[in-house]
Amino acid sequence: MLSPRRRPLLVPVVLCALAVLAAGPAGATDGSGGSGTAAAARVARLYEEAAKATEQYERGRREAEAQRSRARRYDELLDRQRQEVAAVHEDLGSIARAQYRGGGGLPLTARMVLADDPDELMRGQHALRRADLAVDRALGRSRRAEARFAADEARATAAWQALERRNGELAALRKTIEHKLLAARSRLAGEANASVTDGSCPGAVRLDQPEPRSSRAWVAPVETYRLSASFGSGGARWANRHTGQDFAVPVGTPVRSVGEGRVVRVTCGGAFGMQVVVRHPGGYCTQYAHLAAVSVRQGERVGPGRWIGQSGSTGNSTGPHLHFEVRVTPEPGSALDPVPWLEQRGVPL
């Protein structure tokens, strides 16, 4: 089931790898090899580029829709103008026919001689002339308005077509970035699996992070996700029951600490692969497992929304996802259902 809080798939993650620091957690190496951290940083940068390209594309798409709306309004205005011009033409025809029936075919002098009231005839003639002038002015205004609207419509259409071309270029750019991101994710996953197989973790990847967009005390562990295996569900890959909530996300997705706390464990190997455990005030611990990279060290303090790693598929995993647990202790075997636990803290999944 898709999260009701779903955001655009490529979340704007403004990441930039700064340095690889020596890792202090149990089971970690000094990160001297650094190949996995380089891949993690590349994935992070590509996330940023893809997010920017997507943002530009969406902005261009909205502008194109606005141009289409303006073009439709111009069409409606032109239609009304054409109807007004047609009505004026019809009125002019009626006047001409009335003139003809009233002796319009005779010279004015002859009509004055034959008229019972020459003064009334002259007044009528003046009225007809004024009507003719009014009709001519109305026709002129209509023609000018139609030409103006037609020019505006042409400009709007040209602008819309330019936007469409730009959107096509942005779509191609986004596709190219996504292809690069796919390749970088594959490399990151391969290097993470190799590290876990060797029983060693690369050093923590230090990444620049933007200011938190929310002052909430608790957040979801990933911003965009599809919920997959739930707490307590059965499966051939688990000894008893599933002890957490899985979030299906691509390799390299930024993983966030759900709340304030201290990192008490960063390890590699075993069923959980590369994992981070955070202890929160009040004693609860949260676990983030099957990671492809970590960006914190053991003992480090983190706040809600702080990026602590990147998702992967290390350990006992059939595909890319984040395994998230809530525990009473840092050790396995004390897990609670994380969905109601987060909901109680204002984070519906």
Question: Would strands 285-294 and 301-302 be described as parallel, antiparallel, or unpaired?
Answer: unpaired
Mean of pLDDT values over 41-47: 80
Q: Residue 223's closest CA among 150, 296, 304?
A: 304
Query: Tell me, what's the pLDDT at 7?
Result: 39
Q: Give the residue with greater pLDDT, 37 vs 180.
A: 180
Mean residue pLDDT of the chain comes to: 75
Q: How far apart are CA 224 and CA 248, in angstroms?
A: 9
Give the whole-number percent of the chain exceeding pLDDT 70: 66
Query: Tell me, what's the pLDDT at 8?
Result: 38
What are the backbone angles phi and psi of residue 89, rounded to the nearest 5°? -60, -40
Q: What is the pLDDT of residues 86-118, one digit of tens each?
A: 776 666 666 666 655 555 544 555 554 545 555
Residue 336 CB neighbours (<10 A): 15
Query: Tell me, what's the pLDDT at 179?
Result: 85
**Which pTM value belongs to this model?**
0.61
